[in-house]
């Protein structure tokens, strides 16, 4: 069986060792390369549609991502091509990103989590984990997910409409990109929502660029300079609109879901789905190989303010954003977009970092709430 796969998906050579695996740079996957392929495994960089697959022998497509807006699912279904994604594989990695952005906000404003109202738009795999962490930090939380609420899910009975979240100090967006229908999300975060945000609010978008109306954001945030905007996604990736960049506090090259653990889990999920479709023996899982010795983080002052410094140092969004912004000014953002993503693919998650030292009780609770491992031996004062 011949499989064409993005070369930046880890583990596939070992997971698919008995198959003919051809690894290709994502931007070089083309219709010509798929004429004799049985399966295709991609990431979000590759657009999978009729232009790519017409005339190919591909019977199965998988994406090692949670988002699927780069895949024409109706066309695949009509063409009899099976599909699988890695839904949920990057949930903890994206939640780490949101917590790093939140720590940046707390560090720059001097606020405490329990003083803040935090809204989460989209309560799927990622949104659920982000909601859990905000609550663990002591924030008052509001959740919005109309499709889930309408499904009759009892857990969604207390969800709010989007407009209710405009009172929140922090809003984090985790919805799929849907272009039409009752629950379309294109331009969901628009000028009206931005204008209604309280003074000094933080908006984080790690979902898809089209969810934010970028024209509205550029115009309104030029006036509302008090609003802090953190973007990991934007229309036209890998090239961002300079007018949008000028109003962002942090902008990063779609790396929120990039961690070593997330990448490995996604690879295992799609390999298992592929092997199942073709009725091949699934190789034994070796998830223990993902384990590494925990990184030790020693707090010096043990005060809550140091927590935000440690969280941001462990996932340095500021440095990544500075590098990416500089590349946009120089005009080589596409090259830097890819190189930064490659660098971030090996980053450890917060859960792989063990916090210790002489911490106050509140600092210890904050570290645990953010997602760090906090040992019982950590001192409390």
User: CA-based angle 115:119:125, to the nearest 5?
Assistant: 125
Buried b (16+ CB within 10 A) or exposed e, 8-29: bbbbbeebbeebebeebebeeb
208 in catalytic set: yes
215 in catalytic set: no
The active-site residue out of 43, 133, 174, 254 is 254
Task: At 370, give phi and psi (nearest 5°).
Answer: -70, -25
174 in catalytic set: no
The three-state (H, E, C) secondary structure of 162-217, written as one string = HHHHHHCCEEEECCCCCCCCCCCCCCCECHHHHHHCCCCCEEEECCCHHHECHHHH
Beta bridge partners of 5: 23, 41
Q: Which residue do the tokens 């549609």 mark?
A: 49
The active-site residue out of 2, 70, 237, 334 is 237
The active-site residue out of 208, 228, 264, 347 is 208
Give whole-number Cα distances, 187 to 73, 78, 139, 213, in Å: 21, 28, 27, 5
With a CB cutoff of 8 Å and minimum separation 6, the contacts of 160 are 119, 142, 143, 144
Query: At CB < 8 A and 24+ separation, what contacts does 179-184 make?
Result: 179/210, 183/146, 183/147
Which residues are tagged catalytic? 208, 237, 254
């Amino acid at each position: 069986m011949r499989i064409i796969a993005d070369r930046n998906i880890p583990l596939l050579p070992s997971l698919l060792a008995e198959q003919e695996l051809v690894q290709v740079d994502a931007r070089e996957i083309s219709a010509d390369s798929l004429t004799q392929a049985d399966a295709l495994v991609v990431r979000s960089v590759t657009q999978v549609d009729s232009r790519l697959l017409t005339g190919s022998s591909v019977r199965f497509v998988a994406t090692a991502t949670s988002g699927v807006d780069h895949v024409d699912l109706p066309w695949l279904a009509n063409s009899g091509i099976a599909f699988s994604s890695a839904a949920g594989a990057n949930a903890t990695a994206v939640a780490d990103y949101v917590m790093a952005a939140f720590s940046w906000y707390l560090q720059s404003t001097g606020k405490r989590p329990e003083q803040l109202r935090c809204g989460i738009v989209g309560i799927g795999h990622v949104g659920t984990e982000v909601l859990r962490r905000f609550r663990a930090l002591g924030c008052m939380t509001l959740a919005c997910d109309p499709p889930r609420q309408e499904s009759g899910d009892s857990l969604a009975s207390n969800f709010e409409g989007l407009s209710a979240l405009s009172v929140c100090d922090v809003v984090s967006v985790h919805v799929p990109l849907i272009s039409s229908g009752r629950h379309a999300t294109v331009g969901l975060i628009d000028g009206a929502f931005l204008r209604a945000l309280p003074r000094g609010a933080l908006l984080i978008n790690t979902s898809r660029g089209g969810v934010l109306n970028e024209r509205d954001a550029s115009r309104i945030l030029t006036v509302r300079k008090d609003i802090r905007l953190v973007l990991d996604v934007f229309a036209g990736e890998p090239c961002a609109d300079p007018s949008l960049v000028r109003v962002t506090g942090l902008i990063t090259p779609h790396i929120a879901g990039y961690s070593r653990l997330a990448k490995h889990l996604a690879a295992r999920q799609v390999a298992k789905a592929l092997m199942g479709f073709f009725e091949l023996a699934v190789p034994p899982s070796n998830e223990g190989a993902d384990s590494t010795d925990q990184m030790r983080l020693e707090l010096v002052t043990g005060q809550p303010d140091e927590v935000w410094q440690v969280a941001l140092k462990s996932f340095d969004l500021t440095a990544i954003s500075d590098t990416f912004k500089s590349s946009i000014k120089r005009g080589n953002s596409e090259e830097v977009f890819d190189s930064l993503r490659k660098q971030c693919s090996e980053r450890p998650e917060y859960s792989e970092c063990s916090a210790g030292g002489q911490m106050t009780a509140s600092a210890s609770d904050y570290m645990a709430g953010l997602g760090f491992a906090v040992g019982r031996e950590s001192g409390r004062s």
